[in-house]
Amino acid sequence: MGLVGGKVAIVTGATSGIGARTVELFIEEGARVAFTGRRQEEGEAIAARLGPNAVFMRADATLETDWKRVVAETQKRFGRIDCLFNNAGGPAPTGSITSIDVDDFDDAMALLVRSVMLGMKHAGAVMVAQKSGSIVNNASVAAHLAGYSSSMVYGAAKAAVKHLTTCAAMEFGEHNVRVNSVSPGAIATGILAKALGMEAHAADAVAEKMKDGFAKAQPIPRAGLPDDIAQTVLFLASDRASFINATDIVVDGGLIGGKLYSAHQEQLRQTSKALGIR
C-alpha cells in the first residue's frame, strides 16, 4: 500500500503544473482524489488518464457555493475527506504599488487567500468531525522575503496564506487535524509567463523553457519541478507526518538561504582587486 493508501484527497488548481502532478502522485500512492479547476477539457483529460480513482469537478476555488458542492460531492462519492491541498492560484498584479488597480488587487486576494480560507472552512469542518485529517496550503518563498515574485501583491497574499495556515493549525490541531504549508521556490511551471501576460494554455506549454534560467537561481543546479512540491505534499498528507503541524516547509534548493557562494567569492575577489590586495 502506498503512502496515502485508502485516503481521500481534494486537490485544487489541478489542471496543470503542481496540482496536476500532485493528483498523479496521490493516485500512484493509493489515494482516491477529487480534483478541481476551471478548465473543463484539461481536467477531464487528466481524470480519463488516471482512471476511476481520480474525479474531476469543475469549480472556482474563490466561490463558497462551489466549495460546498465539491465537499458534498466528495463525501457522497468517497464517504470521507482525509487530505486537502489548497493549490489553486495564479499571477497577481505586477508593478509599483502606486499603479495597482484595486479590482485586480481584490481578485488576486480572492484567488490566493480567500480560496484557502474557504477550503479550510468546508473541508476542515469534515475533518474536525472525523477527528483526523491533513490540510496543506501552497504558500511561496515570496511569503518569506520581498523580491521573490514578479508581484508584491502575490508576496503579500502568500504571506497571509502562511500565517493563516499557522492560525488554523492551532485550532484544528486540537481535533487531530494537521495544517501545514509548503513554500515553493523557482519551480518550472507556467505561472511566471502568466504573470507577464501570456495566455494560460501557452504559458503552460513554455514551462520547459523556464528550466535553464531557474537552474541558476539557487545552489542546487537545476530548476525546481512540480514533482518536488508534490512529494512534499504527499509526505505532509501521509501518516509519516502525523506529528507535524503549524509548519511551513520551504522547497527551493536553497534559493532564500542567502547569497550564492560562487557569486559571493567573485565579489570578494573584485573587492580585493579594487583595493589593490593580492
Active-site residues: which are they? 154
State how far the alpha carbon of 149 is from the alpha carbons of 51, 100, 143, 157, in Å: 36, 15, 9, 11
If you search the block for the grid coordinates 463558497, which residue do you land on? 64
Q: Residue 270, Cβ neighbours under 10 Å: how many?
A: 10
Phi/psi region, residue 138 (left: phi>0; alpha: psi -120 to 50; beta: rest), is beta
In our burial notation (b when 16+ CB lie closer than 10 A, e otherwise), range 83-109 reads bbbbbbbbbbbbeeeeebeeeebebbb
If you search the block for the grid coordinates 503552460, which residue do you land on? 204
Phi, psi (rounded to 5 degrees) for 265: -65, -40
Determine the Cα–Cα distance for residues 36 and 87; give it in Å rounded to an integer: 10
Strands (E), 2-132: 8-11, 32-37, 54-58, 83-86
Determine the Cα–Cα distance for residues 130 and 224; give it in Å rounded to an integer: 35
If you search the block for the grid coordinates 460546498, which residue do you land on? 68
Nine-digit cell string for 271: 573587492
